[in-house]
C-alpha cells in the first residue's frame, strides 16, 4: 500500500465492517489486535490501520506500535491460525501500519479464547446466536435456491405462480407465449428447467405464489396482519386477524392497501372536496413492512412477518435478530438475504441499497411523529411507529432518540444538525430556542450525539452522531 492509497482510505465516510482505524501513537495492545483480527475475519475480512485518528476528518499521526511486524503477524497466526499480511507505510506525517485480514473460511466462524467476536461501534462484542447461525448456514444450499415444488409442467407452474405480476411490476408486456414467460422465470432463478419439467424454487414461490399454502415449507412465511381494539392485545377488532396468501411480490400492493385501510385517518370536506389525512406516512409504513420482509431470517421455521395495528401505534415484527447494530439502521445497510433482497429491489418492493430507514425518519419528521423504536426478542426484531404526540408528551427516551435519528438523517444527507434544525424538527418557535438547546443537551448527555467541534461558540455549535 502506498501513502496515496492510505490517503484515499482517510476520506471514507465511516468505518465499515471491512475497515478499522486506531490512533495507537505509541503502542497498541496485542491481545486487542488479535480480537480485531478475529472480528474482521468473521465479517468478511478487512484492514486494521494503526497510526490514523479514528474520527473524521482523519489524519495520519504515526505509530510506534509493533516495530517488528513480522513477529506480530507470526504471533497472530500462532493464536488464531489466520495468515494476516502487514504493510508498513512511510507516510510524510508518520509511520502507518496496516494489517490486512483475510475472510474466515466459508461456514466457519472464528473464535479467540472461546469468544466469537464481531465489532459493535468502536468496541468488540460477542457475536449473537443469530449471526453465528448465519455463518454456519453458509455451507447449506442457499434457501432461495432450494426447491419449493419439483416436477411441474407448464400448466402447473402458471396455476401455482402469478407469472403476469412479474411483468406488471417490471412494467413490461407479458410475452406472447407461455414458454417465453417461463424462460424469463428460469433466467431469474424463480424456476429451474430439469428433465423436461420445472422446479419452482423457494425464491420463485416466495415472490409469486398465488397461495403460499400450496407450498408446505413456505406457508408460515405469509404476512399476518392483526388489528387490535385499543392499545393492548386484549381484543382483536372484528376478527381482523388475517394471514395473506400471495407471494411477497405478487401480493405486496394488496397487502399495503389492507394495512393502510386499518390505520386511523381523519376526513375533512372543503370546497366540495373530501380529503383524508392519515395518522402515519404511507411511504414510511411501506418501507418498514418491506424491510421486515427483506431482512427476515428465511431459515427460521414456523414463523413469519407480523404486522400489528393498535390504536396508538403499529408494530412490524420479522424473524431473526438484526445483522447491524440497531443504532446504525439509518446510515448503513446490509442484507441478510442478498439475492432475495435484490429481487425485491428490482420489483420496487423496497428501496435501493443504502436507503430505507433514512426515508422512514424523513417521513416521520414531516408528520411530526415520535421516533421509531425497536424491540429485540430472542429470535425476532420489532420496529414500532407511534401516533403523533406533542413534544411535551414525549418521554425522555423518545426525545433523545428523536434528536439522535434527526442527527443521523442530517449526517447521511451531508447537512448540519444545530439548534435551528432541531427547532424545525419539533416545530419550535425561534423565541423558544432554549427548548431546542435542552433537547440537544439531553442527547449529548445520553451519548447519542456529540459536538462536531467542542471548542465552537454556542451559536456555531454543530452536532454529529456519536459514531461519526
Q: Are residues 254 and 380 in the same domain?
A: yes
131 shares its domain with 18 = yes
Which CATH number do you get for residue 246?
3.30.565.60
Asked if 41 and 108 sit in the same domain, the reply is yes
Q: What is the pLDDT of residue 411?
A: 93
Regarding whether 340 and 237 lie in a shared domain, the answer is yes
Q: What is the pLDDT of residue 144?
A: 93
- Which domain range does residue 341 map to? 224-326+334-353+376-386
Q: To the nearest whole percent, how much of the chain has pLDDT over 90?
A: 72
pLDDT value of residue 420:
96
In a domain, 366, yes or no: no
Least confident of 301-315, 340-354, 441-455: 340-354
Q: What is the pLDDT of residues 381-400, one digit of tens each?
A: 999 999 999 999 999 999 99
- Is residue 363 classed as helix, strand or coil in its secondary structure? helix
**Do 200 and 267 share a domain, yes or no?**
no
In terms of DSSP H, where are the helices of 199-323? 202-208, 248-262, 282-295
Cα gap 464→468, rounded to integer Å: 6
pTM for the structure as a whole: 0.72
Residue 73 lies in a domain: yes
DSSP secondary structure code for residue 326 in this structure: G
Alpha carbons 256 and 18: distance in angstroms, whole number: 36
Percent share of the chain, pLDDT over 70: 95
Q: Of 115, 138, 161, which residue is a domain's last? A: 138
Alpha helices for 27-89 (secondary structure H): 30-42, 69-80
In a domain, 370, yes or no: no
Which of 10-24, 202-216, 331-345, 427-441 bottoms out in mean pLDDT, i.e. has the lowest? 10-24
Number of domains in the chain: 4
In this model, does residue 275 exceed pLDDT 60?
Answer: no
Instruction: Give the three-class secondary structure for 450.
Output: strand
Is 267 in the same domain as 210?
no
Q: Could you tell me which residue, 403 or 326, shows the higher pLDDT?
A: 403
Measured between alpha carbons, how far is 30 from 49 in angstroms, rounded to an integer?
A: 14
Amino acid at each position: 500500500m502506498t501513502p496515496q492509497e492510505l490517503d484515499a482510505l482517510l476520506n471514507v465516510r465511516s468505518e465499515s465492517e471491512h475497515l478499522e482505524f486506531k490512533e495507537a501513537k505509541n503502542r497498541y495492545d496485542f491481545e486487542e489486535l488479535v480480537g480485531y483480527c478475529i472480528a474482521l475475519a468473521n465479517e468478511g475480512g478487512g484492514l486494521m490501520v494503526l497510526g490514523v485518528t479514528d474520527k473524521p476528518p482523519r489524519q495520519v499521526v504515526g505509530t510506534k506500535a509493533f516495530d517488528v511486524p513480522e513477529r506480530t503477524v507470526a504471533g497472530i497466526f500462532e493464536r488464531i491460525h489466520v495468515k494476516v499480511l502487514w504493510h508498513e507505510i512511510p507516510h510524510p506525517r508518520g509511520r502507518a501500519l496496516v494489517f490486512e485480514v483475510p475472510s474466515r473460511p466459508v461456514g466457519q466462524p472464528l473464535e479467540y479464547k472461546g469468544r466469537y467476536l464481531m465489532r459493535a461501534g468502536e468496541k468488540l462484542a460477542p457475536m449473537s446466536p443469530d449471526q453465528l447461525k448465519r455463518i454456519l448456514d453458509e455451507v447449506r444450499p442457499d434457501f432461495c435456491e432450494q426447491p419449493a415444488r419439483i416436477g411441474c409442467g407448464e400448466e402447473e407452474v402458471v396455476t401455482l405462480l402469478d407469472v403476469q405480476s412479474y411483468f406488471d411490476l417490471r412494467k413490461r408486456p407479458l410475452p406472447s407465449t407461455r414458454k417465453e414467460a417461463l424462460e424469463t422465470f428460469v433466467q431469474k432463478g424463480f424456476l429451474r428447467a430439469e428433465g423436461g419439467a420445472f422446479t419452482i424454487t423457494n425464491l420463485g414461490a416466495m415472490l409469486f405464489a398465488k397461495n403460499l399454502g400450496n407450498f408446505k415449507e413456505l406457508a408460515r412465511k405469509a404476512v399476518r396482519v392483526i388489528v387490535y381494539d385499543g392499545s393492548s392485545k386484549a381484543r382483536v377488532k372484528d376478527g381482523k386477524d388475517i394471514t395473506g396468501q400471495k407471494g411477497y411480490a405478487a401480493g405486496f400492493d394488496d397487502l399495503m392497501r389492507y394495512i393502510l385501510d386499518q390505520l386511523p385517518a381523519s376526513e375533512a370536506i372543503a370546497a366540495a372536496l373530501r380529503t383524508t389525512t392519515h395518522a402515519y406516512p404511507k411511504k414510511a409504513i411501506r418501507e418498514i413492512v418491506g424491510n421486515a420482509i427483506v431482512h427476515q431470517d428465511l431459515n427460521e421455521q414456523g414463523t413469519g412477518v407480523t404486522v400489528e395495528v393498535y390504536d396508538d401505534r403499529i408494530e412490524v415484527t420479522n424473524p431473526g435478530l438484526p445483522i447491524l447494530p440497531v443504532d446504525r439502521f439509518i446510515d448503513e445497510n446490509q442484507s441478510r438475504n442478498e439475492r432475495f433482497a435484490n429481487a425485491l429491489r428490482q420489483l420496487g418492493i423496497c428501496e435501493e441499497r443504502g436507503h430505507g430507514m433514512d426515508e422512514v425518519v424523513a417521513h416521520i419528521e414531516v408528520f411530526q411523529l415520535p421516533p421509531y423504536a425497536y424491540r429485540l426478542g430472542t429470535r425476532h426484531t420489532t420496529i414500532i411507529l407511534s401516533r403523533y404526540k406533542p413534544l411535551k408528551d414525549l418521554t425522555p427516551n423518545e426525545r433523545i432518540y428523536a434528536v439522535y435519528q434527526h442527527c443521523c438523517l442530517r449526517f447521511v444527507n451531508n447537512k448540519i444538525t444545530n439548534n435551528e434544525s432541531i427547532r424545525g424538527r419539533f416545530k419550535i418557535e425561534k423565541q423558544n430556542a432554549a427548548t431546542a438547546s435542552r433537547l440537544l443537551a439531553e442527547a449529548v448527555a445520553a451519548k447519542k450525539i456529540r459536538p462536531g467541534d467542542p471548542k465552537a461558540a454556542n451559536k456555531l455549535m454543530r452536532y454529529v452522531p456519536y459514531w461519526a
